[in-house]
Chains A and B, each alone.
Chain A
């Protein structure tokens, strides 16, 4: 069974700090995605990483896919209160559309 473990589960930081959250698995994934979810809403896609070692940047967010395609990280530089939310990683579990999600990292950025 493919599982994605995310850490930390909760993270509370001050505005301006940097942070990294992790998504790990013992299985190889053809791709991993990162989503952000607000309370009561659906996950919103941030990025998809496909190639081992790949690094993608989205403004202050940097996403990395591990060389072995078993893990990924999300680094946020100079966090802002607007970054507060639940960050989910997900990977393809089988056929088209069968995504396996991690439990998420709940980030709180205090002004």
Chain B
């Protein structure tokens, strides 16, 4: 199965701090997605990003979130001012037909 790589695997941050989560997608994919999963809850769609633009975002993806492609191969999810409720697993993914290939995730803990 194609591999999507995420760093860091675990991040602990103080409430109000900015965090940047990183993803290296499958080579040559123009589409990538971010999802989150709060402990014990559903996997939830955040945003899809195509060719350097947001193509769709959910209600969760408010102004404190942003996505970027800082260079040719890496994608980032930035949370500007973290809140306790942002604690979750964050997954990036690439398309696999109608489905998606997910990275192993970043566990974000806001304290």
Q: Which residues of A contact B (CB under 8 A)?
A: 30-31, 33, 35, 40-45, 48, 50, 88, 90, 92-104
Contact A93-B95, Cβ < 8 Å, known A40-B107, A44-B1, A44-B102: no
Residue count of chain B within 8 Å CB distance of chain A:
31
A4 → B minimal CB distance (Å): 9
Complex Cα distance, B50 from A95, in Å, reads 11
The answer to whether A42 touches B99 (Cβ under 8 A) is no
The answer to whether A97 touches B45 (Cβ under 8 A) is yes
Contact A97-B93, Cβ < 8 Å, known A44-B102, A45-B101: yes
- The total of interchain contacts (Cβ-Cβ below 8 angstroms) comes to 78
B25 → A minimal CB distance (Å): 12
Map CB proximity to A onto B47-67 as digits: 1 under 8 Å, 0 otherwise. Answer: 010100001101000000000
Complex Cα distance, B42 from A45, in Å, reads 16
Map CB proximity to A onto B18-44 as digits: 1 under 8 Å, 0 otherwise. Answer: 000000000000011101000001111
Complex Cα distance, B42 from A35, in Å, reads 13
Q: A residues within 8 A CB of B91? A: 42-43
Contact A96-B102, Cβ < 8 Å, known A42-B91, A44-B1, A101-B42: no
Chain B residues 62 to 109 lying within 8 A of chain A, measured CB to CB, are 89, 91, 93, 95-105, 107
